[in-house]
Structure formats: C-alpha cells, structure tokens
Amino acid sequence: MFPNQPIMQHVANKVRDELGLMIAWINPGRLAPAIMKKISPNYEAARGHGADPGLSQAMYLEPDMVDTSRIVPNQCLNEYRGLKLDGTTPMLNGYPLDMALRLQDASPVSGGYGDPTYATKEQGEKMFNQMVEHLTAVVEKFAAMDTKV
C-alpha cells in the first residue's frame, strides 16, 4: 500500500546502525489518509486512487492542473473473471489473491478507486494545513530530543 515505506525503513535502520542516530520521516501517502478520516464526509467512499486525499489536495495546491469536467462517481466491479473483489483485491475462498490486476480491470468506468465526487478544494486546504502542522510538531519534537542511540 505504501511502496516507499520498506526502503525508508531500511535507510532509517542503516542510519541508526552506522551513525547511531534515531531518525523519523513523514510519508505523505500515509499521513494524508489519517487526516482525511477526520475531514471527509464519507472517508470510506471517497478514499482511493484517482480520488481523495490526492484529488482534494491537488484542487487546493494546483487548481489549474485539475480538470473536473469528466469526474464520475466510481463504479467498482464486484467480481473479476469469476473472482470476488474486495475493493480492488481479488478473493479466492475468502482469502486475498495477488494478481497483476490493474485499476481499470476492477473499475473500468473511472479507472480509479474511491469516489472523486467527494473531493473539494476546501478539504484539500484543511488536509494540507494539518499535514504542515504535524510536520512542524515532528521537527520540534526531534529538535528537542536526544536522537543518539
């Protein structure tokens, strides 16, 4: 779900092992959904690829780059080639099955996951400001902390 997390964890452990320092990082892809849960009128429906939190933040940060003229409510399929889908995850006998499934396979109308019609510039602004506040708190905490291990 967060493809950069393993490499960041590896680097953080390497810094700890080789330099004796504890470091922290912020993964925006992980932080934004956590904040979005508090802001969105319908987090479960809105969250996903091609929708929020990214779309609301794009509407706030780069409104001229967002074309909303073709946004449609997401319509995910319930199954793909005889396999039940849990979101975009194929299931077999009640267990997740890893496949080379693309979003277009599970959601041929919008090609995304999550309902982009929930996205707003105002939500993007709230999410962004809360992310900045959190990042500021992290910097302040680590500035005051002894990070040597």
pLDDT at residue 1 is higher than 70: no
pLDDT at 90 (0 to 100): 95
pLDDT one-digit tens code per residue, 60-107? 999 999 999 988 888 889 999 999 998 888 999 999 999 999 888 998
pLDDT at residue 146 is higher than 70: yes
Work out the average pLDDT over 120-142: 96
The C-alpha atoms of residue 127 and residue 142 are separated, in whole angstroms, by 23
Name residues whose C-beta falls within 8 Å of residue 111's C-beta, 6 or more positions apart in sequence: 50, 103, 104
Q: What is the mean pLDDT of the chain?
A: 92
99 vs 5, more confident: 99
Counting residues of the chain whose pLDDT is more than 70, the rounded percentage is 99
pLDDT at 75 (0 to 100): 82
The token duo for 50 is 């091609």
Query: Residue 89 forms beta bridges with which residues?
Result: 86
Reduce the DSSP state of residue 148 to 3 states and report it: strand
Give the single-character DSSP code of 47.
B
The token duo for 135 is 């990042």
